[in-house]
């Protein structure tokens, strides 16, 4: 019953360093998502993958890249980290790529950039 697994859970980076956040789901879902959560702003969509082999930008894609490695895995990369990217990052998955399907969330990655 793992659901959505994110690694690492915590990370501290220096400005300019690069980092890849990993996400894997074992529910055979087609769609996967990356969000960031900041105080008072709810969750904002960074990137989305409707199905294996496709990715699309969300609300706040600048400074990030993603890779849908296979149906299970969806990674988020920060090429040159900036303090403004300090946040909690959540990966989610859903059966299909339409938002009337409930999304299942991982426990998050808490990222601090100094």
47 binds other proteins (CB under 8 A): no
Within 59-98, the residues that bind other proteins by CB under 8 A are: 59, 90, 92, 97-98
Beta-carbon contacts of residue 101 (< 8 Å; ≥ 6 apart): 31, 94, 95
2 binds other proteins (CB under 8 A): no
- Exactly one of 11, 50, 52, 71 binds other proteins (CB under 8 A); which one? 50
How big is the chain, counted in residues?
114
Shortest distance in whole angstroms from residue 85 CB to other proteins: 19
Phi, psi of 84, deg, nearest 5: -65, -10
> Which C-beta is closer to other proteins: that of 85 or that of 103?
103
Rounded to whole angstroms, how far apart are CA atoms 69 and 38? 27
Rounded to whole angstroms, how far apart are CA atoms 2 and 15? 33
Interface positions with other proteins (CB under 8 A): 4, 31, 33, 40-45, 48, 50, 56, 58-59, 90, 92, 97-100, 102-108
């Amino acid at each position: 019953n793992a659901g959505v697994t994110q690694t690492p859970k915590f990370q501290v980076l220096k400005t300019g360093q690069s980092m890849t956040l990993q996400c894997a789901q074992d529910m055979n879902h087609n769609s996967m998502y990356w969000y960031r959560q900041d105080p008072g702003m709810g969750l904002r969509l960074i990137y989305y993958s409707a199905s294996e082999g496709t990715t699309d930008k969300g609300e706040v894609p600048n400074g990030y890249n993603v890779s849908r490695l296979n149906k299970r895995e969806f990674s988020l990369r920060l090429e040159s980290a900036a303090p403004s990217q300090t946040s909690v990052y959540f990966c989610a998955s859903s059966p299909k790529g339409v938002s009337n399907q409930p999304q299942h969330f991982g426990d998050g990655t808490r990222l601090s950039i100094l």
